[in-house]
Amino acid sequence: MSVFESKVRSTLLFSAATVGAVLVAPNLAEASFGEKNLRFGMEDSDVKVLQERLKEKGFFNFHTATGYFGELTREAVIKFQKEHGLSQDGIVGPQTFSVLNGNSSSSGQSKTRNSNSGNNSSQSSASSTYSSESSSSLSSINNTSQVMRNGTRNQDVSSLQAYLKKAGFYEHSQITGIYGNMTQKAVRNFQQARGLTADGLAGPQTLSKVNKEIGGTAPSKSSSSRSGSSADTVSNSSGSASLSGVVLRQGARGAAVEELQKRLKDLGYYTSSIDGAYGPLTVAAVRELQRQSNISVDGIFGPQTYRQLDNGNSSNSDSSSRSSGNSSQTSSGNSSSSTDLSGVVLRQGASGSQVRELQQRLKDLGYYTSSVDGSFGSGTAEAVRKLQRQTNISVDGVFGPQTLRQLEKNIKYSSSSSSSGSSSSSAPVLKEGSRGSNVSELQNMLKATGHYNSQITGVFGQLTKEAVRKFQNQWGLIADGIATKSTLEKLEEVAAVHMSESRSNSGSSQSFNTMNLIADASNYIGVPYVWGGTTASGFDCSGFIQHVFRNNGVNLPRTVAQQWDATRPVSKPQVGDIVYFTTYRAGPSHNGIYIGNNQFIHSGSSTGVTITSMDNSYWSPRYLGARRAR
């Protein structure tokens, strides 16, 4: 066990829940116990003291205090907070420290559970981990409809930094009011800890969550700076306070949008009702302002557009165009279907008229086959991915400006690899001009078969096309230089024969131990990806699986497809199971080892051996299932 523990301390945390495991990257912190908040991902002596205290009280059940704040520690903290009527956020802050230090009884769970019924009043008083802190030290975010990103400067950034610092996410010594790299990192860590989309952008969802934890309430619409003033241009001073540094786009709502609509109306660009909803008419008004000001026309209100608005540039277009725009809310599809989607970012979970417009246009081109319901679900995400694959852009299922440009080219969907079930969409056709990891994989296979002798570039150029054509000629396929489903399947079959076969027997007769398997796998983190690689100098995905399992007494065949056939299916992955994905062709073509906490360790073509979330935008839609090798 000492070997295992040393691996854990040097590379990642392994914690067993059921036989579960959690691996996270360490982040060192320094403080004496109780002086600094403790949270998920930290590693120092304070965490060890915390674990020992929780172990005394019956909440932390791991066999030893590791000093690493992982999933088991977070669960123990949440249980402790729940039993004592505290806010259950898994962060050890002032309130949790206070109760933890003042309750030294070690009788554990029976005592704390019996006291639970008396905690209702204290629980209601603990609506936020930090609500008992003096309210003057933390201010709520005034404008939760904005999107903060690198370069944003305003008082709300200061409020955000102050809270994140109090919560232990922001590590800079000063509150600057400038949204820089350290703020972005703090926001991303906060989002991960709260189960939000971890993009490092502080948008409405993140800011509302921060306000909720601060214990403040969102500012009311009437509290914006236009208290009854009929807002001639003098209201710029108050408008500047609410719109400076703000980025607003279609779909945004709130006081900032109201302020924008009001100012646009004062200048003659906006003629509809001020409702705080950034819809097509607001987009059209912003676009008109941008056109009149000779700046980039995208319908998104940002710093450049704000400067023009602040200059008071009034509309000089005739009223007929404005009034026609006013009545075009329902018929905007005629001339502004691209306007409806310009500057919009849509992803799974979104809903509304923009999604309906997107679905209709995808359906017209053959990418989307379900009903047009205005709800961005898995079917819409897959349709977007089909468009992205076919147009050779980044495939993430998120609709944004780059995907819009491809959509406006009106390229019809072409299913050249025929409809072989739901997985056919995961088998892209690779041809001259294609780029990415799928092309790198293709080039590696062609190199293994002796048809490609150049560098692995990930770019499908003339050399790759010629190599594909040679391979097709040799095996009686249509020699057009395009890697279709049939070509890729045959290529993988032939390439597998040319792989360097690793030693079939290692002489290992040890019994299988899941903990040892994960610890051994983690020892190879950072080893580069080498196609056909089966040793610690470089692995491909199946070579890594074969090597790690063989070292733990389980012999598996060489390729992903063969490993799939040699393992038995399970309904839900457990630690040590193999998870399979479809990538450059239909069927299993990539795999990794499930390590718990919805993560897997694998050898990726662009990362080498690494740990990745099953929720990753690339891997999640390509997941085929889990299988067991023992």
**Which residues form the catalytic set?**
541, 590, 602
Bridge pairing between strands 42-43 and 27-28: parallel
CB 23 within 8 A of CB 78: no
Residue with tokens 């067993």: 16
Tell me the C-alpha to C-alpha distance, in Å, between residue 198 and each of 164, 165, 419, 447, 617. 15, 18, 35, 38, 11
Q: Which residues pair with 421 in a beta bridge?
A: none
CB 376 within 8 A of CB 347: yes
* Structural tokens at position 552: 């733990």
Dihedral through CA 74, CA 79, CA 84, CA 89, nearest 10?
Answer: 40
- Among residues 241, 232, 319, the alpha carbon closest in space to that of 267 is found at 232
* Structural tokens at position 625: 């299932």
CB 187 within 8 A of CB 150: no
Residue with tokens 């490993």: 563
> Which 8-state DSSP code applies to residue 135?
G
Give the Cα separation of 28 and 40 in Å (integer).
11
Give the Cα separation of 112 and 357 in Å (integer).
55
Residue with tokens 């079939």: 504
Residue with tokens 């350290």: 182
Q: Which helix (H) or strand (E) holds 627?
A: strand 623-628
> Would you say the C-alpha torsion 448, 451, 453, 458 has a positive or negative sign?
negative
> First CA to last CA across the chain, in angstroms?
22
CB 45 within 8 A of CB 62: no
The dihedral region occupied by 68, where left means phi > 0, alpha psi between -120 and 50, and beta the remainder, is beta
CB 452 within 8 A of CB 406: no
Residue with tokens 């945390």: 13
Coil, strand, or helix at residue 593?
Answer: strand
* Structural tokens at position 610: 């690494």
Backbone angles phi, psi at 372, to 5 degrees: -85, 100
Residue with tokens 């008004």: 285
Residue with tokens 């100098």: 537
CB 191 within 8 A of CB 198: yes
- Among residues 157, 152, 132, 127, the alpha carbon closest in space to that of 142 is found at 157
* Structural tokens at position 166: 């109090």
Helix intervals (H) in 429-559 = 437-448, 462-474, 485-498, 514-522, 541-550
Burial of 342-369, coded b for 16+ CB within 10 Å and e otherwise, reads bbbbbbbebeebbbbbbbebbeebebbe
Bridge pairing between strands 568-570 and 623-628: antiparallel
Tell me the C-alpha to C-alpha distance, in Å, between residue 381 and each of 33, 367, 370, 587, 608. 47, 10, 12, 20, 28
The neighbour count for residue 548, using CB atoms within 10 Å, is: 23
The 3-state secondary structure of 280-349 reads HHHHHHHHHHHHHCCCCCCCCECHHHHHHHHCCCCCCCCHHHHHHHHCCCCCCHHHHHHHHHCCCCECCC
